[in-house]
Structure 1
Amino acid sequence: MSDTRAAPQVVRYSERLRVPWWWWPPGLGLAALIAVEVNMGVRSLPDWVPYAVLLPVAAVVLVWFGRTEVRVVSGTGPDQETELWVGDAHLPVSVISRSAEVPRSAKSAALGRQLDPAAYVVHRAWVGPMVLVVLDDPDDPTPYWLISSRHPERVLAALRS
């Protein structure tokens, strides 16, 4: 009988790229405003229906915007290596040749003319700095990963440890 249990992993760093708290009042306010408009325009509906539908929809959209997670995970087995996970994509640390922080001031240049079209980019506009991870993998055409992170120094420290 084979053992199908997953090898235990140690999470060195984890961060969810949630929307800022101050997006919630305008998001829910806009949903309430649309509910008022629907309420005034469609008299056959009960008054509570537009609010019961649109407010949860706004909350789901705001949660969905912040669903991406950045993690650095290392296995505890002898053949397990450290990996960088961004959403569902993962990258072994062994193929990283170098990494650096991209400050908020250099973000537009990194995402503009300097951006390689083959790069893997996970950009969230509400997150200021980014992490640049340059790859050295002959089997992968992706030259680098460019990832939003609120704490790039922690991501880099977890990758290097």
Structure 2
Amino acid sequence: MTSTNPVFRERLWPSPWIFLATALVIPASLLVFLPISPVAGALVAAGLYGAIVVVLLVTTPTVEVSDGELRAGRARLPLSVVAAVRAAHGADAVAERGVGLHADAWLLIRGWIPDVVRVELDDPQDPTPYWLISSRRADALAEALSA
């Protein structure tokens, strides 16, 4: 259940280019099914692309800070265990997602969102060193977590 007045809320919607890239399923389907039947080719192409769009939209996670809790997708983290927060942009964000990534980190990253927020944890019961979360408004998310 979401709060009536969240401090921060963002849906990690796919970028428009994701929909364009996945539209390549249309000519691929037509290439395979047009020799069998033009109607079957058109139906399969439309059906596959429609299914991809629905899956992308339905599985879009929400990041929210409210009621003393960070919600990232289905995961929840009490703000009482947050030790430090840092927004990363550009090359720093690439390093966070790549060579600087800890194997035990919890991730909610989307390739079409360039910036990330690193949320360091101070919880002796949890082996996870930090959460790494994609955000188009990384500075606002970091500020909401730090407040």
Q: Same fold by TM (over 0.5)?
A: yes
**Counterpart in 2 of 1:153?**
139
Partner Cα separation in structure 2 for residue 83 and residue 111 of structure 1: 24
Distance 1:10 1:118, change over 3 A: same
**How far apart, CA to CA, are the structure 2 residues paired with 1:7 and 1:15?**
12
1:90 aligns with 2:84: no
Using structure 2 for the length normalisation, give the TM-score: 0.85
Unmatched tracts of structure 1, length 5 or more:
1-5, 75-81
In 1, Cα distance between the equivalents of 2:10 and 2:38?
46
Task: State how far apart, in whole Å, the 1-side matches of 2:2 and 2:133 are.
Answer: 27
Compared CA separation, residues 113 and 51, structure 1 to 2 (3 A): closer
Q: Given the two structures, how large is their TM-score scaled by the length of structure 1?
A: 0.78
| Deviation of 1:139 (Å) | 1.1
Aligned length: 147
- Assess if the C-alpha contact under 8 Å between 1:11 and 1:73 holds in 2: yes
Per-residue deviation, 1:9? 4.9
Q: Distance in 1 between matches of 2:140 and 2:43?
A: 45
Q: CA deviation at 1:89?
A: 0.7
- Contact 1:38/1:50 (CA < 8 Å) preserved in 2? no
The one of 7, 14, 20 aligned to 1:12: 7
SS, match of residue 41 in structure 1: coil
Partner SS state of residue 15, structure 1: strand
Matched residues in 1 for 2:42 and 2:66: separation?
46
- The residue that corresponds to 2:60 in the other structure is 67
Cα distance change, pair 47–156 in 1 and its aligned pair in 2 (3 A): closer
List aligned pairs for 1:4-153, cutoff 5 A. 9-28=4-23, 30-43=24-37, 46=40, 48-64=42-58, 67-74=60-67, 82-153=68-139
Provide, for residues 64-108 of structure 1, a one-character-per-residue CA deviation record: whole Å limited to 9, x for no partner. Answer: 5x612111111xxxxxxx111111111111111111111121123
CA RMSD of aligned residues (A): 2.4
Query: Equivalents in 2 of 1:34, 1:127: separation in Å?
Result: 27
Q: Runs of 4+ in structure 1 displaced over 6 angstroms?
A: none
